[in-house]
Amino acid sequence: MKKTNRIIYSLNVEDVQEVARQTVKRKLTQEEISLVEESVGNHIDWFEAIESAILNRIEERKSPR
């Protein structure tokens, strides 16, 4: 049985908090985390990220070593 529901990449709250510490110099509140959680997917170009990874890996495998 193929596992098509397997998660390939994910972000967790600690990832969000690390970016917050670096950009706004503090941890986010639970409310702020919820706001980020609701919209972060809208800011990621999923198609381009997946396409780039596929093409880079295929080209990497084709290159002579």
pLDDT digits (tens, 9 = 90+) for 30-65: 999 999 999 999 999 999 999 999 999 988 787 766
What is the pTM assigned to this prediction? 0.74
Per-residue CA distances from 18 to 5, 13, 38, 47, 56 (Å): 27, 9, 18, 25, 28
Over its C-alpha atoms, the chain yields an Rg (Å, rounded) of 17
Q: Which two tokens stand for residue 29?
A: 């509140």
Helical pair 13-23 and 30-39, crossing angle rounded to 10 deg: 100
Give the closest residue to 13 by CA, choosing from 37, 44, 31.
37
Residue 13 has pLDDT above 90, yes or no: yes
Q: What integer pLDDT is reported at residue 61 of this predicted model?
A: 81
Q: What integer pLDDT is reported at residue 59 of this predicted model?
A: 80
